[in-house]
Amino acid sequence: MRTALTVAGSDSVGGAGIQADVKAMSVVGIHAASVITAVTAQNTTGVSGIFPVSEEFVKSQLEAVLKDCDIKAVKTGMLYSAGIAETVADILEDHEMPLIVDPVMVSGTDCDLTDGSLVQALKKKVLPICELVTPNRYEAEVLAKMSIRSKDDLMLACEIIGKQGSSVYIKGGHFNTPTVVDYLYLSSEFTKLEYPRLKKSGHGSGCVLSSFMTANMAKGLDIVNAVMKSRELVQESISTQYAIGKGDVVVNPMVKLKGETDRFAVLDAIDAAASRILDIVPDEFVPKNGMNIAMAMKDAAGPEEIAAVDKRMTVHNGMLRKNGPAKFGVAEHLSYVLLAVMKKDPSVRCIMNIAYAPDTVAVMEEVGFSTIVAEMSKDRLSESTEKALSKSKSVPDAIIDKGGRKERTIRMLAKDPQEMMSKLEQIL
């Protein structure tokens, strides 16, 4: 597996630092090795303590990783002190892989992440051996020893910072412009990258950007392509940032995995509902062919995006049993009905079948459920569901399928398994 390395600080709240770096690299499909330079005690409102790792132990971590793995690219984040920065630079200068430097100095909550000695060592030892450095406005001003108020200032700062041969990527988030304008300074040329300004970018945006770049370079992309791709990913990570505490929000480097986490959530919801069903549903409610509950992903396009209990729930020796785990694509009949239902109301994403009994229908009426009665064709379930629904104004709580010559059945509908369980409890 292609491996990249992050040399950075631990952020106890998990929004920035090593924790964010490992997530960002993993999302790009790169294994992330990590060397920890300092442990911070912090939350979303501020940093309450920093415990630097000794230079000797930073060295031990680095040597352990480098003598074993074929590291394709390295990034540094919080280096904290001149001693740690020099230790890291002394080791990395003997290695060939590209080094990306995020010159971390201050946290997003405005707390100092250096001991005051770092900047000179960064300039003297780290920048000369790096391929790319990614300062924000403040970091660029410190590194170039000038204030940046105009585009000309910014270009001059890039030239100063990159004078020892590295490329410079200045992040535009902290400038007062209507859009966010970043600049890549590479081989004496400037490339402008302009993005809509979103809300204030959350904790970890700088860490995540440099980690995406490092991982993309570990994949073999050149600087320009790694930068372009990574900047897109950061925009998405910022636009989906979320709150975890009382202070700053954190960026979401996992945004590309959203589909996967949604799938897990649907499977979990089905498994939880199925366990509850086993506890509360009497045998007479279970259809002869078995009972099932299914839930669709948002905007599901087919049965493969609908999860249900694999091999249904059936009665064995008087006990209702789950014959498999929640799985996608295992409930064809319920799925076709649900897909037709979702065409009418996409928010109704859960379906469950129960045995038909006149008593059950009577109870449904008593508790005020809306129902429709339909003659459904087993071969054309979607079409017959659509036809049945076309006569009602909204999606009912249940469709009572007269079943023709087959078994009669009731298919209950709800927005999600939780709502389904509360509906079920009303009629049992």
Name the residues that contact ligand PLP, by CB under 6 A. 8-9, 11, 16-17, 40, 42, 77-78, 104, 107-108, 113, 203-207
**Residue number, 47 or 351, with CB nearest to ligand PLP:** 47
d(CA 236, CA 317): 53
Q: How far is the CB of 221 from ligand PLP (least distance, A)?
A: 21
**Residue number, 87 or 353, with CB nearest to ligand PLP:** 87
Structure-block tokens of residue 99: 């080094």
Q: How far is the CB of 25 from ligand PLP (least distance, A)?
A: 14
**Residue number, 9 or 417, with CB nearest to ligand PLP:** 9
**Residue number, 193 or 372, with CB nearest to ligand PLP:** 193
Q: How far is the CB of 10 from ligand PLP (least distance, A)?
A: 6
Q: What are phi and psi of 52, to 5 degrees?
A: -70, 145
SS3 for 93? coil
Q: How far is the CB of 20 from ligand PLP (least distance, A)?
A: 7
The conformation of residue 291, written as its DSSP 8-state character, comes to B
d(CA 302, CA 228): 34
**Residue number, 18 or 294, with CB nearest to ligand PLP:** 18
Q: How far is the CB of 98 from ligand PLP (least distance, A)?
A: 20
Q: How far is the CB of 270 from ligand PLP (least distance, A)?
A: 37
**Residue number, 11 or 55, with CB nearest to ligand PLP:** 11
Contact 234, 24 (CB under 8 A): no
Instruction: Find the helix packing angle between 17-27 and 205-218, rounded to 10°.
Output: 40
Is 244 exposed, middle or buried (CB count within 10 Å of its CB: 0-12, 13-18, 19+)? middle
**Residue number, 244 or 315, with CB nearest to ligand PLP:** 244
**Residue number, 203 or 333, with CB nearest to ligand PLP:** 203
DSSP characters over 200-268: PP-BTHHHHHHHHHHHHHHTT--HHHHHHHHHHHHHHHHHT-B--SSS--B--GGGGGHHHHHHHHHHH
The conformation of residue 297, written as its DSSP 8-state character, comes to P
Q: How far is the CB of 42 from ligand PLP (least distance, A)?
A: 6
Distances (CA, A) of 230 to 140, 186, 282: 20, 16, 55
Nearest to 105 by CA among 160, 38, 163, 56: 38
Q: How far is the CB of 9 from ligand PLP (least distance, A)?
A: 3
